[in-house]
Structure 1
Amino acid sequence: MQAIVQAARNEQWPAEIVAVISNKADASGLDYAAGLGIATAVVANKDFSSREAFDQALQQQIDQFAPDLVVLAGFMRILTTSFVAHYAGRMVNIHPSLLPSFTGLATHRQALTAGVKIHGTTVHFVTPELDHGPIIAQAAVPVLPGDSEESLAERVLVEEHVIYPRAVRWFVEGKLTLDGDLVHIAKDAA
């Protein structure tokens, strides 16, 4: 989230980060955003008896800000189909693997266990199927001899901080076209 906010401000995107919303009151991103004058809110999932009730409250909170794009960053909740449908084509996420490989959690462990030589990260549109939305961008990193989950995660994170802001900028600048399950990126996208 911080990398996206910094890129938007430093590169002067034709966009405004209107809010940072978390399901955890102690999320460090809330303090960071508030310090920059960005509106913040907390919708704690533990305050709701069901996933549907939480998603409905979260959707109401998000919609108060009328965003053109919802960017998930560090949000580790499975979203309901109705929530995802509400933001179809305008909600993105980043996943620490080269999708469609290694969905879900513990992706670095999965990569090391599988013995892959290349790992990485993927920015994708969010769909009801977990970690399966249309791919916007990917970045690969080599899996090195002796890598641990932590060392591999560190290299992947460096790439996440590059490709996620870039993918959001492409959306903001109208450089992305979603055609079914395929994303087309304008030739002049940098």
Structure 2
Amino acid sequence: MLSLVVLISGGGSNLRALLEASEDAEFPARVVAIGADRDADGLALGEEFNVPTFTVPYSSHADRESWGDELLAQIQQWQPDLVVLSGLMRLLPPRVVAALSPNLINTHPAYLPEFPGAHGVRDALAAGVSQTGASLIVVDNGVDDGPIIAQERVPVLPGDTESTLHERIKTLERRLLVQAVLDIANGHVNLKEPSHT
């Protein structure tokens, strides 16, 4: 059974998809803890699904490194097989990445390497492209440039707003994430050598 710690900053829609999938006794992974860098709405899912939560507020630390050290200590208490960044809106310090990699994955609302960074959906709309996508990557010390585990295209429709496009991408992100966790748990994906799709 693959054990997961999921880190969030917001509502946790990808987290909910994982929690719902893991309610199936046949699903070979379980979320053992949920962490956040702020008082995120998604922490309420911990109570709903009976999963422990922890918060390491970025604002209560002097710098990114000390915040990262505390976050890493909290994560390591759970000894997870895999750490999932699910909407965590902070770059992890190199020490944290080094300690967890390659068992550290992240979803991104674009078809990488297109539109990396915090505003992938907005950037795609601003560029006027006809399609964007969703990607799942192994986290490294770059900005959304780690090895790609899975990705899929999403069309940009006439009249799309950042909100409508992001909702369609989120639906795809949830499916990619649940499938990737399943594939990792079943040994079909090796995070040390992920194949580009």
The TM-score with structure 1 as length reference comes to: 0.90
CA distance in 1 between partners of 2:184 and 2:57 (Å): 28
CA RMSD across the alignment = 1.5
- Alpha-carbon offset, residue 124 of structure 1: 0.6
Match of 1:153 among 155, 162, 166: 166
Percent of residue pairs identical: 37
**Residue matched to 1:70:** 83
Match of 2:11 in 1: none
Residue 106 of structure 2 is matched in structure 1 by: 93
Deviation sequence 1:104-158 (CA, Å, 0-9, x none): 1221221112121111110111000010111111121111122221221121111
Q: How does 1:101-140 map to 2 (within 5 A)?
A: 101-140=114-153
State the 1:42 CA deviation. Answer: 0.9
1:2 aligns with 2:16: yes
- Structure 2 runs not aligned, ≥5 long: 1-14
Match of 1:12 among 9, 26, 44: 26
Partner residue in 1 for 2:51: 38
Farther-moved stretch of structure 1 (112-121 vs 57-66): 112-121
The aligned residue for residue 6 of structure 2 is none
Deviates more, 1:8-17 or 1:146-155: 8-17
Structure 2 Cα separation of the partners of residues 145 and 64 of structure 1:
48
Offset of residue 11 of structure 1 = 6.1
Within the candidate set 162, 165, 183, 2:194 is matched to 183
Q: Across the two proteins, how many residue pairs are aligned to each other? A: 182
**1:80 corresponds to 2:93:** yes
Aligned-partner Cα distance in 2 for 1:154–1:63: 32
Ranges in structure 1 where 5+ consecutive residues have no aligned partner = 186-190
TM-score by length of structure 2 reads: 0.87
AA aligned opposite 2:32: V
Superposed CA offset, 1:72-103 (max 9, x none): 11110011111101111100000000000101
What is the CA distance between 1:34 and its match in structure 2? 2.1
Residue 162 (1) aligns with residue 175 (2)? yes
Q: Distance in 2 between matches of 1:11 and 1:77?
A: 33
CA distance in 2, matches of 1:11, 1:2: 16
